[in-house]
Structure 1
Amino acid sequence: MLKILIPIFDRRGAAEAARHSVFLFSEHCVSEVEILEVLEDVAIERTSAFWSEEELREQSQRHLSRALSETCAILDNAGVPYTSHYMCGPFVRSVSRCVESGHADMVVVDASHLGMLRKLGMIMKVWRLRAAPVTLLH
């Protein structure tokens, strides 16, 4: 039985990844889901020129908590066991740290809301995760 890691990295959340995990759970392929909130450094974004870092961090956490609750609701409705935690840092580095520490056998990323170039960039970054297979949902 697999343990799946679902990273949440922006305000749109990971609803498609949660639905995919529910399907795999119903097929008896998944035993547990790990949800990872990735809080990236807001100081490197362009918006930091207009708002303080604290305001940006609060806004990011508010959006991520909304996305987390939506993802958890999907898993709760299906009875899928899950745990959640958060990490600060770049997306790929945070996901790879979580995989290397044994929290997951497989990573499912919801990229359905990303543009084509951003998806391609994410594929190239996440492709470096050799420790676990990565499914990019689009």
Structure 2
Amino acid sequence: MRTILVPVDGSESSSRAVRAAIKAVNEFGGATLHLLTVHPPIVSGNVKRFFSVEAINDYYQDEGRNALLPAKAILDEAGIAYTEEIAVGPVAQTIADYAKKKECDMIIMGTRGLGAVAGFVLGSVTTKVLGLVDIPVALIK
């Protein structure tokens, strides 16, 4: 059985990737599907001085749950089983590491997420993931 990773960030692009993953699961006659959302770490020393580690971790979890909501709704409606994980770290590297750890056969991801720069053809995270993994990556516009 195949294992598919779908990194999501709550954007419409990642929702389209989830829909493509549903098609892939159906075409493959089943697959293990992993949803992953990654939050970049807060690096500002000022934030860490004024907020506890627990408060920062709660923030990561809240943001992660919000980013997963659209994808989970689509998968639940389609009746597709999945696992979900919220991670913190450098986004592209964390996606690549997760894919390796879970022995994913492929990654299906949107070409652009919620990043601030809208002018690039491919998002910077997408471009970095392509360079970090040695498994197929399906990019969904």
Post-superposition offset of 1:67: 2.6
Q: Which amino acid aligns with 1:65?
A: R
Q: Which amino acid aligns with 1:33?
A: L
Could you tell me which runs of 5 or more consecutive residues in structure 1 were left unpaired when the two chains were aligned: none
Q: Which amino acid aligns with 2:136?
A: P
Q: Specify the alignment match of 2:97 in structure 1.
A: 97
For residues 120 and 84 of structure 1, do their structure 2 counterparts lie closer, same or farther at Cα, with a shift above 3 Å needed? Answer: closer
Post-superposition offset of 1:62: 3.4
Could you tell me which runs of 5 or more consecutive residues in structure 2 were left unpaired when the two chains were aligned: none
Work out whether 1:122 is the aligned partner of 2:122.
no
Post-superposition offset of 1:4: 0.9
Post-superposition offset of 1:94: 0.5
Post-superposition offset of 1:16: 0.9
Q: Specify the alignment match of 1:5 in structure 2.
A: 5
Post-superposition offset of 1:124: 3.0
Contact 2:10 2:70 in 1 (8 A): no
Percent of paired sites with the same residue? 24
Compute the TM-score of the two structures, normalised by the length of structure 1: 0.75
Runs of 4+ in 1 over 6 A off after TM superposition: 51-57
Q: How many equivalent pairs are there?
A: 134
Contact 1:7 1:108 in 2 (8 A): yes
Contact 2:10 2:66 in 1 (8 A): yes
CA distance in structure 2 between the partners assigned to 1:103 and 1:132 by the alignment: 10
Q: Specify the alignment match of 1:133 in structure 2.
A: 136
Q: Specify the alignment match of 1:21 in structure 2.
A: 21
Q: Which amino acid aligns with 2:130?
A: W
CA distance in structure 1 between the partners assigned to 2:10 and 2:63 by the alignment: 5
Q: Which amino acid aligns with 1:134?
A: V
Alignment of 1:50-89 (within 5 A): 61-89=61-89
Compute the TM-score of the two structures, normalised by the length of structure 2: 0.74
